[in-house]
Homo-oligomer: A and B are copies of this chain.
């Protein structure tokens, strides 16, 4: 197996970090690897905000729902969909930009996420650990204020980076038949679903979770505790409002 494949296959999410800083040249290589990711039309319609300042990490920790690793790890990378720089360039060159719509937002979000994943792989190649924060979209409005993001810029995801202070088990994954389709989408029968989820449902930690949550099964923990309809509706509104406020929802011309 080649080393790159090994890096990818051995990924573990790290939630407990040493306070050791990341060497400047390593951080720069991580970012450089990020910027080598594919980008629509080579427009590079993304940006990354590096947070190292301790006070700022504490404030961001609060914004990211108090997840301890956010202030513990030495570096936070916030990846943004960013048409601001591109729009400014266009206007300065007498080219009227038409990038204030949902398609442009989504194009920029794709760009940002490919950069983020490249940066994560690069970080892990240096023995660093990473963790993605889903709270970035939930708190888009507050992060826009915090970083003072101008029109055309929306935070998409945040990655915590630092030297691991734990060595957890690798997370389980569904069998490939749950996520790969050949030629056509093959929809799932009840039997398929039972088989695909069997291993996950039989993990010892699943039994523990069901007991702690006083629910019947793992699916109910997701639907009623972790990712509830009420929260999803609330955060849908927050995020769509952020798109509107940042100038990405002028879809009628």
Could you tell me which A residues sit within 8 Å of B by CB distance? Answer: 1-5, 7-11, 13, 28-29, 31-33, 35-38, 40-44, 46-53, 56, 82, 84-86, 88-90, 92-99, 101-104, 106-107, 109-110, 113-114, 116-118, 120-122, 124-126, 130-132, 134, 137-138, 147-150, 153, 156-157, 171-174, 176, 178-185, 187-188, 190, 193-194, 196-197, 216-220, 222-224, 226-230, 232-233, 235-237, 239-240, 251-253
Contacts and interface: CB of A to CB of B under 8 A. Distances in A.
A50 B182 CA distance: 5
Copies per complex of this chain: 2
A103 B11 contact: no
Contact of A223 (B97, B107, B224, B226): B97
B33 A5 contact: yes
9 contacts: A41-B226, A47-B181, A50-B181, A92-B194, A94-B217, A99-B227, A102-B239, A150-B185, A233-B253
B181 A48 contact: yes
Nearest to A7: B4
A43 B46 CA distance: 26
Contacts of A131: 38
B47 A185 contact: yes
Contact of A227 (B10, B41, B110, B130): B41
A183 B134 contact: no
B193 A85 contact: yes
B40 A134 contact: yes
A74 to B, nearest CB: 14
Q: Which of A9, A89, A114 has the most CB of B within 10 A?
A: A89
